[in-house]
Amino acid sequence: MSIASQNVLDYPNNNTIFIVWNFKEGMAIKEAFKSLCALVTNLNNSANTRFPNARASVVLGIGFDAWHLLELPTPVPKEFVAFAPIEGAKYTAVSTRGDLHLHIRSDAYSFCIDAASAIADTLKDVASSLDEVHGFRYWDSRSILGFVDGTENPHGADRAYFGIIGDEDPVYKGGSYLFVQKYLHDLQAWKALPVSEQEKVIGRSKSDDIEMPDGVKPSNAHSALANVGDDLKIVRDNMPFGNVSTNEMGTYFIAYASSFITVKKMLTNMFVGVPEGNYDRILDFSTPQTGSLFFVPTFEMLDSFGS
């Protein structure tokens, strides 16, 4: 039988809800978790049947501490750890607790809300939500900074190669590492920057999304430091979110990867810099509020956890 991965390779769509749930202390969490595993499978099957064109899916990720609390199988996936902060001289990629991560996508916002509500009904007695972010598609897939986000993502067969664990970890083949960070942007400072300078920060042109040639792209541009080589890629599904009256405008960074080491290398380049001190200039306008690593089991693993 073929391995059925969760929908980690889907493309970003019009609406997304991201929720991090943390277990409350001293609760009997196993029964609720079993129900959740069954519910996630149910919601995906139902979405395929009821809304085949809505590009709707729900992906469940499990944090390192939660994996142990739930007494899930050991040894754990080969690169699964509790995310440790990455400290540069000026900025830090913080680490925050995350027991369960839900990534709910659909072109129809109604689906996202109903799926999130059903999940909340299952979890609310044993867990509390640390963070809930409602992301939206901004124009032609731009981040809230105004630049197209996702262009250099892998496509076709490369998407599975870089997004899903293969034979290197046979027990967890078909699973994926999921890393998330919720960034807030200083949009006032960003908007005060001339477009020609903004383009140097990203390393691409703003209106038509063309990459700057080598020799022109600054070494501290985001796309220079985040590019760690053609053999080391990740699948990014970032979404903008925002509250204009509180000025909390941001990017929910989310990546699925066959190897967490690749994500860590990108983060180290960005925060520590190459050479050390030459950090990613995007960080002068972007501050991570969260940072957590999760493992995304296959549907077969969810079935076994749920029985």
Q: Which stretch binds ligand HEM (CB under 6 A): 39-47, 79-87, 94-102, 146-154?
A: 146-154
Q: Which of 60, 66, 178, 202 binds ligand HEM (CB under 6 A)?
A: 202
Q: Give the H/E segment covering residue 288.
A: strand 286-288
Q: Could you give the residue ranges of the DSSP H alpha helices within the chain?
A: 29-50, 64-69, 109-123, 157-163, 187-192, 195-202, 222-225, 260-271, 299-306
**CB 201 to ligand HEM: min, Å:** 9
Q: How far is CA 138 from CA 143, 197, 235, 282, in A?
A: 7, 22, 19, 19
What are 142's strand-pairing partners? 138, 148
Q: Examine the residue annotation and report whether 107 is marked as an active-site residue of this protein.
A: no
Residues 254, 7: Cα–Cα separation, whole Å? 14
Q: How far is CA 242 from CA 158, 248, 249, 277, in A?
A: 32, 6, 4, 31
> Residue 123: what are its φ and ψ, rounded to 5°?
-100, -20
Give whichever of 87 and 152 is closer to ligand HEM, judged by the CB atom.
152
Q: Is 178 near ligand HEM (CB under 6 A)?
A: no
Residues 255, 264: Cα–Cα separation, whole Å? 11
Q: Is 226 near ligand HEM (CB under 6 A)?
A: yes
Q: Is 263 near ligand HEM (CB under 6 A)?
A: yes
Pairing state between β 248-257 and 176-185: antiparallel
Q: Which of 67, 183, 190, 295 binds ligand HEM (CB under 6 A)?
A: 183
**CB 20 to ligand HEM: min, Å:** 17
**CB 217 to ligand HEM: min, Å:** 9
Q: Is 55 near ligand HEM (CB under 6 A)?
A: no
Give whichever of 151 and 207 is closer to ligand HEM, judged by the CB atom.
151
Q: Which of 45, 117, 128, 151 binds ligand HEM (CB under 6 A)?
A: 151
Give whichever of 150 and 306 is closer to ligand HEM, judged by the CB atom.
150
Contacts with ligand HEM by CB under 6 A: the residue count is: 23
**CB 90 to ligand HEM: min, Å:** 15
Q: Which of 99, 149, 199, 237 binds ligand HEM (CB under 6 A)?
A: 149
Burial (Cβ within 10 Å: 0-12, 13-18, ≥19) of residue 142: middle
Q: Which stretch binds ligand HEM (CB under 6 A): 4-12, 46-54, 141-149, 160-168?
A: 141-149
Q: Which of 21, 23, 147, 305 binds ligand HEM (CB under 6 A)?
A: 147
Contact criterion met (CB below 8 Å) for 282 and 201: yes
Give whichever of 14 and 268 is closer to ligand HEM, judged by the CB atom.
268
Beta-carbon contacts of residue 228 (< 8 Å; ≥ 6 apart): 262, 265, 266, 269
Handedness of CA 237, 282, 165, 84 (dihedral sign): negative
**CB 56 to ligand HEM: min, Å:** 24
Contact characters 238-257, ligand HEM, x per CB under 6 A: -------------x-x----
| Catalytically active residues, by annotation | 149
Residue ranges binding ligand HEM (CB under 6 A): 143, 145, 147-152, 181, 183, 202, 204, 222-223, 226-227, 251, 253, 263, 266-267, 282, 286
